[in-house]
Amino acid sequence: MERKWNELLMDDHQTTEKVLVAMENLFGAAAAPPRESVSMMLDYFAVYVDQCHNMKEEQHLFPLIERRGIPRAGGPLGVMLGEHEQSRALLTRIKPLATAYAGGDDAGLEALRATVLEYAELLKNHFWKENDVLYPMALRVMKPEDDAAVRTGIEAVEAGIGPDTHRRYHALAERLTRAGQVEDLSFGVEREVLAAILNTLPVELSFVDAEDTVRYFSHENQDKIFPRTRGVVGMTVQNCHPGTSVHKVNQILADFKAGKRDVAEFWIDLGPRKVHIRYWPVRDAAGKYLGCLETTQDITAIQKITGQKRLLDPA
């Protein structure tokens, strides 16, 4: 099935976040990062992130949603444009440092390291704001025909950069991800089966530790009811929710920590779907609070079940 405009842009986010984690791993290691990886990194950030992904939004998505009533100033759209400019300013600093280092000059390595890490932090925060705030807002105001218009614009931007742009830069991202030894968010090699089990469940999972920091979510490489990208891992859960709901998040966590509540549940309508959201305190055998587990499930089909079903459908 053809992917919608927001799914295509979130795919870019997901791929880029893995590159960002790879760079954090390479620049955070005791050994200096490989020069070839730094050269590939510069190509990916300068071309695919800035000239390609950002232009998909600035040339095709942002003007359209502004016409549909989302103002450029004083709201999320203006914030996103401002962060695009911040990322470009950081790239301007990164380019000469990365070029020199890739060419064999180590003098600017520490400055390069600091600027790349700053760039990575900015983009990770930027992506979740777009996924969780701007894109849902855009979907609410857009007309049915707008999806095709934005998708056509996305294709035009990629074609304007060169033939097979999407495949080439996703292949480059994969090389960088391998170089940075980025593992799946699940549990690593020795726990592949458990990770696969959690990703197979018809329930999406998120885990926040005892310090309210996001540590895990399931279904990373699948479409989710509420999109999550790996940039949320390591963030406090309060920073992953709209300001209007933070008080509710804090109340739930406080009740769990105090042992006053064993579950908090909500159900909402998302278009034709009924979504059931539950929060559970996670405790060890001694009752010590370890964190909070969120489960999210589309229960639309379950609500329609009547009678009994005892026979297996044909394969």
Axis-axis angle for helices 5-28, 35-43 (nearest 10): 160
287 within a domain of the structure (yes/no): yes
pLDDT at 190 over 70: no
Of 159, 179, 199, the residue at which a domain comes to its end is: 179
pLDDT over 90, % of the chain: 79
On whether both 135 and 280 belong to a single domain, the answer is no
CATH number for the domain that contains residue 223: 3.30.450.20
Mean pLDDT confidence for 253-278: 95
Q: Are residues 98 and 198 in the same domain?
A: no
Same domain, 14 and 161: yes
Stretch 236-260: mean pLDDT? 91
* Strand order, beta sheet including 289-298: 214-217, 204-209, 289-298, 273-283, 264-270
Whether residue 263 sits in one domain with residue 142: no
Q: Verify that 245 and 195 share a domain, yes or no.
A: yes
Quote the distance between the C-alpha of residue 172 and its chain's center. Answer: 19
Q: Distance between CA 240 and CA 28 in Å, rounded?
A: 25
Q: Does residue 108 share a domain with residue 164? A: yes
Residues 6+ apart with CB under 8 A from 189: 183
Q: Does residue 13 form part of some domain?
A: yes
Give the per-residue pLDDT at 242.
79
- Structural domains of the chain, count: 2
Q: Of 42-56, 133-147, 179-193, 222-236, give the lowest mean pLDDT range.
A: 179-193
For the segment 304-315, the average pLDDT, to the nearest whole number, is: 91
CATH number, position 87: 1.20.120.520
Contact 36, 42 (CB under 8 A): no
Q: What is the mean pLDDT of the chain?
A: 93
Q: How confident is the model at residue 189 (pLDDT cuts 50, 70, 90)?
A: very low
Check residue 184 and give its pLDDT. Answer: 61
Q: What angle do CA 128, 132, 137 make, to 5 degrees?
A: 135
For residue 187, name the pLDDT band (cuts at 50, 70, 90): very low
What's residue 211's pLDDT? 95
| Residue at 308 is within a domain | no
Residue 107 lies in a domain: yes
The token pair at 95 is: 């380019």
Lowest mean pLDDT among 5-19, 83-97, 221-235: 221-235
72 and 10 in a common domain: yes
Q: State mean pLDDT over 63-78.
A: 93
* Same domain membership, residue 255 and residue 139: no
- Are 93 and 198 contained in the same domain? no
91 and 132 fall within a common domain:
yes
- Residue 312 included in any domain: no
Domain end position, chosen among 179, 209, 233: 179
Of the residues 155, 179, 203, the one at which a domain ends: 179
Asked whether residue 206 falls in the same domain as residue 153, the answer is no
**Cα distance between residue 295 and residue 301, in whole Å:** 17
**Dihedrals phi, psi of 274, to nearest 5 degrees:** -105, 120
Q: Are residues 14 and 147 in the same domain?
A: yes
Domain of 203?
Answer: 189-303
pLDDT in tens, 7-47: 999 999 999 999 999 999 999 998 999 999 999 999 999 99
